[in-house]
Amino acid sequence: MSIKGKAYIAGIYEHPTRHAPDKSTAQLHAEVAKGAIEDAGLTRADIDGYFCAGDAPGGAWPMVDYLGLKVRHIDSTETGGCSYLIHLGHAAEAIAAGKCSIALITLAGKPRTSAMPPRAAGAEADFEAAYGATTHNAYGMCAMRHMHDYGTTSEQLAWIKVAASHHAQYNPHAMLRDVVTVEDVLNSPMISDPLHRLDCCVITDGGGAIVVVAPEIAAKLKRPKIKVIGASEFIKTQMGGKVDLTYSGARFTGAASFAEAGVKPSDIKYVSIYDSFTITVLIQLEDLGFAEKGKGGRLVQDGNLIAGTGKLPFNTDGGGLCSNHPGNRGGLTKVLEAVRQLRGEAHPKVQVKNCNLALAHGTGGSLGLRHGSSTVILERE
């Protein structure tokens, strides 16, 4: 069974805040839930499926209690920042199977106000934590090896940030709205070689939510019909020590989602690509098939990702690099901007013309250690 055409995104909401010391995390979940339900033209009582990840205080059942939901299907799959793309696929599966008909997915977190609670350690922790393995240096190792194997340069990585900043200038809610140059990126302080400060995403408080509905519900609503036509998930591991840092799980999820959707990379008008770091974008674009392995640097350079002038407009809200990375988890906002593009509701300066087919891809965990991947392909009907 395929989920192609079995579910539609009817409601979306991104919290405008980027700093919320005056709000609780559960409150942010509720505010984004309310926003997405109202965007869909539905009510809270219509929700019969709920999806949340590790950022939800206490997990699914305390959140269902807090939100006052009455649901017959729950899913708290936790794969870091890509959890919500997996939730979208799972919601489509549940709807197709008749387990629910109106699903709510929420994300919220406040890492800008205070450090997020640590994830429970896995069995690998004995062999990584004491060495000081962090998000920054693990992604740094991916970038270093990509440069070694393929000649990718810091200038090429910088172009990814430059493109994001061109888009963020039009987003009034973006945390960083100044347009930056390649030189600005290269001159920013080195965080963990070869990644500079401006190769890294922002740290923001905030959240977002998505409402996914069955086709018969979508037909009754007054919102543009955004159909889920491909969804997939994968966990890429260290493979028992056969580590290869030059590719990601997107190699598998991209192929699976394109096959399910029956489309190819050249058909896609707009891409939302997980951008925890610039290198994340480059490796995923290669793995998804937008460039040959090793040639991602040439794809992203010279403004090629900038809407209006570039060949492959990406993250037109400014993405995680400039706008928002709520709860240190950037996957849900990737879906939101893809839906805005398909609805024609992106900022006019970055709206892609005739945008009928979009892809959103997420990575969760660490590209350099182990990570979840999910690719979702959406079509405007």
Partner 1 sequence: MAERKLPAPAVSAETQAYWDAAAKGKLLVRKCTSCNQLHHYPRTICPFCFSDKTEWIEASGKGTIYSYSVMRRAPVPYAMAYVTLAEGPRMVTNIVDCDFDKLKCEQAVKVVFKPTEGGGPPLPMFTPA
Residues in contact with partner 1 by the rule CB under 8 A: 121, 123-134, 136-145, 148, 189-195, 238-243, 245, 369
Shortest Cβ distance from residue 197 to partner 1 (Å)? 9
Shortest Cβ distance from residue 148 to partner 1 (Å)? 4
| Both structure tokens of 39 | 């965007």
Q: What CA–CA distance (Å, rounded) separates 135 from 139?
A: 6
Shortest Cβ distance from residue 243 to partner 1 (Å)? 4
Nearer to partner 1, 1 or 130 (CB): 130
Shortest Cβ distance from residue 167 to partner 1 (Å)? 27
Nearer to partner 1, 45 or 190 (CB): 190
Question: How many Cβ atoms from other residues are within 10 Å of residue 184's Cβ?
Answer: 16
Shortest Cβ distance from residue 352 to partner 1 (Å)? 35
Only one residue has tokens 């969760």, namely 364
Nearer to partner 1, 282 or 360 (CB): 282
Shortest Cβ distance from residue 193 to partner 1 (Å)? 5
Phi-psi region of 23 (alpha: psi -120 to 50; beta: other; left: phi over 0): beta
Nearer to partner 1, 27 or 188 (CB): 188
Nearer to partner 1, 258 or 277 (CB): 277
Nearer to partner 1, 65 or 149 (CB): 149
Shortest Cβ distance from residue 194 to partner 1 (Å)? 8
